[in-house]
Amino acid sequence: MIYLVLGVAIGVLMPSQSAINNRLRNAVATPWVMAGISFLVGTVCLALLTWATVGTVGFDLGNVVTQPWWIWSGGVFGVIGMTTNVLLLPVIGALYSTMLNLTAQVITTMIIDHLGLLGVDHYPADGWRITGAVLVMVAAALAVIGGRRRPQLNAQPTSKTWYLAGLGIGVCFGLQVAINGQLTLVLGSAVHSAFISFLVGTFVLTVVVVLTRPSLRLRVPEGQTHNPWWMWMGGVLGALYVTGVAFLSPLIGSAVTVVVVQVGLIAGSLLVDQFGLFSAPKRAVRPLQVIGLLLMISGVFVMNAPKIFV
């Protein structure tokens, strides 16, 4: 049970990270620069934490040869998912983006757990897990839809490619969860695993920024008088998220990890909306959103019913 609570707590951080990174995005030239800064801050924090807890930020180079190549790719999938999501949101909107992302994450991790792919422990997709996962996805849809005053429709038809991209983001994040969980087992530390993931992601983003050569000047957004100090802290929350997920995945499975984190994400989103945290627009939480959140929590219990009640 404590692992489920920890997963929810990790998820609560994510909307705050999104709000912080959105503020940073308004002060820099491109999403790539924003992502690069966020990853760099997270990498530095994780380097210090890894050194403090493990005693070194290095690792046995023999693992590069003995371990499969994909075990080092979690950071790449994280970069692809995060930057694509930034580009996708203005095109298809938060509703479709959230639901496509969540659906693909749950399905991807359920398949990984059921088939034991990427070296993970086998968690069969029995009736409890499938029912709980479906309940969580439906409940999340209620929570997201409940927060909207009216459907947002694009004036121009949106290419199906963008919707496929939304699913692709979820697949990337699902793979990242499973891969970083396995890297945790190899290195013996979730913090060390998260550091490697962030280091790889920072390298990829540095290459992209160098190739695209965007302006690196900061600007103060219209209507603001200054850039707040906390806009640099998104990487810290991202580091906590990746570390927590890397810790939980080998213990409770990738699918359950994704689901409990999503419960926290919706709860955190309601907090950000209700109180207008980190310069986010203030929106009153609606009853349908609360009902959706409660149903999501019920879905988590259904997925874990055999372990909780047997």
- The 10s digit of each residue's pLDDT in 243-259 is 999 999 999 889 889 88
Q: What phi and psi, each to the nearest 5 degrees, are found at residue 286? A: -105, 155
Asked whether the CA dihedral 45, 171, 281, 215 is positive or negative, the reply is positive
Residue 41: both structure tokens together? 């801050």
Q: How many CB atoms lie within 10 A of CB 280?
A: 18
Q: What is the pLDDT of residue 147?
A: 64
Give pTM, 2 decimals: 0.83
Q: Where do the domains of the chain lie?
A: 2-218+230-309
Q: What is the pLDDT of residue 206?
A: 94
Q: What is the pLDDT of residue 151?
A: 46
Q: What is the pLDDT of residue 189?
A: 94
Which 3 state secondary structure label does DSSP give 30?
A: coil
In angstroms, the CA 20 to CA 22 distance is 5
Positions in the chain short of pLDDT 70: 93-95, 147-158, 279-280, 306-310
Q: What is the pLDDT of residue 155?
A: 43
